[in-house]
Chains A and B, each alone.
Chain A
Amino acid sequence: MSTATEHSHAPHAHDEHGHGHGEHLPFQAHHFADMQQQFEAGKLGIWLFLAQEVLFFAGLFCAYAVFRANHPEVFHNAHYHLNTLLGAFNTIVLLASSLAVAWGVRCAQLSNTKGIIYTHVFTLACASLFLGIKMVEYTHKWDEGIFWGAKYAYQAGAAPGHHFHAWLQPTMLVTLIAGGLLAVIGLAKGKAGKPVAGWTLGAIGVTVAAIGLGIIIGQGVNAATSPAAHGAPSEHAASEHSASSDHAAEEHAAADAVPTPDQASEPMVDRSGAATDSVPAEKTAGPDEAPAMPATPPINVTQANFFSIYYFMTGIHAVHIIAGIIALTWIVARAAANHFNSVYYGPVEYVGLYWHLVDLVWIYLFPLLYLIR
């Protein structure tokens, strides 16, 4: 059966569960004629939900597309703050979890309960690894003053007063210890003949501990790629500094249609006024670079807009990951209770489809946010 493409439910498969045709299966809702109808109705329902999810993310992708189409210069500069290697690593982590979930559905179709549990616990570990790495990325940005909207106040290197990274070490220790403890308790429960409590606690333990592992990997990769990742921002900070000190001179040259190199490389980083200087930035791209439209007021688009979009898109995606973690844990608990087999495995398939969609969204987010040129 390992390479078969069609798995037929012969009548003998039902005999194992001890029921005849007139009888209701344990998980068959009374309003469905049979398990097949129930499965297909549920599957159509989850596809409609996924269609809604696509349209939900469409709003965010639209914000991204409009800002990028209108102000590519902002997006081009902003991507220097993102670590491509961490993004690529997270992409592969999610792809591996997608493989595991697809494998888990296959196990369910073949009534392999242990297989469902192993693949889904692995998926949970991947989900937390992803979140741990995202945590490192977020704290690193926050320490440089990279926030959303009006809070954006970029400073190269750690800004005084911002010590979010100081929370990473304790978080890592707490998640590793607490997760390890939960996993050990789960193991003990499992050995004591309580598979559902055992696997559920074990799955939660692995999930929590993998956050710590993600923080370790994220910090390791961040440290290893630090010179390469920060070559651009420091250069960028230098030009920011000269831009602000030469600010008056640039104002005199504002009539030039072609921006100076400083303006081009760093058109509006000091726009928030809260960073290294408090000079209000008159030298925006608006009036300087578009002399054909003098009446147009300066358009207030800055890197802060990019990071608002970045935090919103990755944050909403992370919320979906957390929802997925809850759903996957539910699947582990039900699989441990021996609920799933080749006749009834709808929930495994539905949660799997949802998890693949979360992966699909990241497949687009990664190149759009991390690979801008």
Chain B
Amino acid sequence: MSHADHKHHVASLPLLWATFFALVALTVLTVVMGTSDQIQLGWLDVWVVLFIATVKASLVALIFMHLAADKLFNGVVLVSALVFMGIFLGMCLMDSSNYLAEQQAYVEGQQALLGPTGS
């Protein structure tokens, strides 16, 4: 094929800036979620924080790294690495429930500690 007819995706400046501001807003949101005493979600906390991080990562991958407009195969390479990472982490975490007794004791201890002071 002649190189006269190929096309490159050029991201528009307003899109790049909008992505940046969305990323900053999500960073502020995750700091507020992670540090505010008003918003306490308990065990959900880490998942909410990870969900926000994943939204941010997707924005960077799709727009800054051009995956949204790129050849599908480049995205397949990245996603397959993430799938294998998921399998790896999942396998390694399979025995975590064996430590539940210790964690339960810790949670009870925390409640005993935090109960009176309420901090």
Measured CB to CB, the nearest residue on chain B to A52 is B81
Is A353 an interface residue, CB under 8 A from the partner? yes
Query: How many of B's residues come within 8 Å of A, CB to CB?
Result: 69
Q: Is there contact, CB below 8 Å, between B101 and A55? A: no
| A:7-21 near B, CB below 8 Å | 7-11, 14, 21
Flag A49-89 by CB within 8 Å of B: 1 or 0 each.
01110110010011001100111110000000000100010
A153 and B87 CA atoms in complex are apart in Å by 36
Residues of chain A within 8 A of B77, CB atoms compared: 44, 47-48, 50-51
> Contact between A51 and B81 (Cβ–Cβ < 8 Å)?
yes
Q: A9-B8, A293-B101, A367-B52 are in contact. Are A84 and B96 (CB under 8 A)?
A: no
Q: Residue A264 at the B interface, CB < 8 A? A: yes
- A359 close to B (CB within 8 Å): yes
Contact B20 A286 (CB under 8 A): no
* Bound CA span A7–B10, Å: 6
CB-based nearest B residue for A58: B85
Q: Which listed residue (B17, B30, B60, B112) contacts A367, Cβ 8 A?
A: B30
Q: Does A92 contact B (CB under 8 A)?
A: yes
A240-275 CB contact bits vs B (8 Å, 1 = yes)? Answer: 000000000000000001111101110100000000
Say if the beta carbon of A322 comes within 8 Å of chain B. no
Binds B, one of A101-109, A137-145, A163-171, A307-315: A101-109
A285, B11: Cβ atoms under 8 Å? no
Which residue of B11, B40, B96 is within 8 Å of A102 (Cβ)? B11
Q: Is the CB of B106 within 8 A of A285?
A: yes
Q: How far is the CA of A109 from the CA of B6 in the complex (A)?
A: 13
Contact B57 A363 (CB under 8 A): yes
Question: Is there an interface contact between A103 and B106, defined as CB atoms closer than 8 Å?
Answer: no
In the complex, chain A residues whose CB is within 8 Å of the CB of B65? 352-353, 356
* A4 and B10 within 8 A (CB): yes
A7 with B35: CB separation less than 8 A? no
Q: Which residues of B contact A88 (CB under 8 A)?
A: 27-28, 31
Interface residues in B10-33 by Cβ distance below 8 A to A read 10-14, 16-17, 19-20, 23-24, 27-28, 30-31, 33
Contacts of B85 in A (CB 8 A): 54-55, 58, 61
B38: interface (CB < 8 Å): no
For A33, the chain B residues whose CB sits under 8 A away are 1
A54 touches B4 (CB 8 A): no
CA distance A6 to B80 in the complex (A): 28
B89 touching A58, Cβ below 8 Å = yes
One of A35-43, A175-183, A189-197 at the interface = A35-43
Q: Check A363/B53 contact, CB under 8 A, given A69-B93, A264-B110.
A: yes
Q: Which residues of B contact A258 (CB under 8 A)?
A: 105, 108-109, 112
Find B20's partner among A50, A95, A265, A372 (CB 8 Å cutoff): A95
Bound state CA distance, A54 and B84, in angstroms?
10
Residues of the B chain whose Cβ atoms lie less than 8 Å from the Cβ of A110: 10
Q: Which residues of B contact A (CB under 8 A)?
A: 1-14, 16-17, 19-20, 23-24, 27-28, 30-31, 33-35, 40, 45-46, 49-50, 52-53, 56-57, 60-61, 63-66, 69, 71, 73-74, 77-78, 80-82, 84-85, 88-89, 92-93, 96, 99, 101-103, 105-106, 108-110, 112-113
Q: Other than A51-B77, A65-B92, give 11 A-B pairs with Cβ distance below 8 A.
A: A9-B3, A34-B2, A40-B71, A44-B74, A48-B77, A71-B102, A98-B20, A265-B113, A343-B3, A360-B61, A371-B31
A: which residues have CB within 8 A of B? 1-11, 14, 21, 33-36, 40, 43-44, 47-48, 50-52, 54-55, 58, 61-62, 65-66, 69-73, 84, 88, 91-92, 95-96, 98-99, 101-103, 105-106, 109-110, 257-261, 263-265, 267, 285-286, 288-290, 292-293, 342-343, 352-353, 356, 359-360, 363-364, 366-368, 370-373
The 7 closest A-B pairs by CB, nearest first: A264-B109, A371-B34, A289-B105, A51-B81, A261-B113, A69-B96, A259-B109
